Amino acid sequence: MTDASVPERLAVGPVTLARLAPERADLRDWYRFWRDCDPAVFAHLDLDPDQTAGAVADRVAALDAMWDEFESFSYVVRADDAFAGYADLQPDWDRRTAEIGVVLDRPFWGEGVAGDVVATLGRVAFERLDVDLLELGFDADNERAWAAAERYADQFGGRVAGPFRALSTRAGEPVDQYRYAVDGAAFDPPERA
């Protein structure tokens, strides 16, 4: 690793990412996100949005523990100080890769928030974690993610590949995925004011 410290707070333009941890995150925002967000948000994820407040608190604690173990780095995403969703950066140390996941509530779709998150966490992956490849996977039937991945390839370098058969599951069933991937030499996000 280039720099073992992973920033607990990041900002780009109106978008901020703050470490998701029980003592730092407003669990009420987190619970409302899981409880009240548009069902389309979870349509392509193998996650259950119908969780109790206790289950949400347990999930946040588990994600926090993964940060401390250097397994995954999860962030609350805010746009203009409003709770927008969450993102994570998951290194695979053996493969020298990192995968980004971004889940945003519907009001933040198409606003550039996901692109800001990918650019910011991509910089962390290459500059702090010293990985060779950054990836972002999405279900083959997720048209919005496909369009976003094509924008990332245009804006940051890299390419979209696939489909990869049965690469993930949803509701216990295999799902085909595409992957956006970029290596450190090609990753070139524009600077944001």
CATH at residue 25: 3.40.630.30
173 occurs within a structural domain: yes
188 occurs within a structural domain: no
The parent domain of residue 21 ranges over 9-183
190 occurs within a structural domain: no
Q: Please indicate, yes or no, whether the overall pTM of this predicted structure exceeds 0.85.
A: yes
62 occurs within a structural domain: yes
Closest CA to 12 of 117, 83, 136, 149: 117
With a CB cutoff of 8 Å and minimum separation 6, the contacts of 79 are 14, 15, 108, 111, 113
191 occurs within a structural domain: no
Determine contact, residues 47/170, Cβ cutoff 8 Å: no
Per-residue model confidence as pLDDT tens for the chain (193 residues) = 444 589 999 999 899 999 988 776 677 777 777 777 777 776 677 666 657 778 878 888 898 999 999 999 999 999 999 999 999 999 999 999 999 999 999 999 999 999 999 999 999 999 999 999 999 998 888 888 889 999 999 999 999 998 899 888 777 888 898 999 999 999 988 776 4
| CA dihedral (113, 36, 171, 62) positive or negative | positive
Query: Whole-angstrom Cα distance, residue 88 to residue 116?
Result: 13
Determine contact, residues 87/103, Cβ cutoff 8 Å: yes
189 occurs within a structural domain: no
118 occurs within a structural domain: yes
Give the total number of structural domains in the chain. Answer: 1
DSSP letter (8 states) at residue 190:
P
2 occurs within a structural domain: no
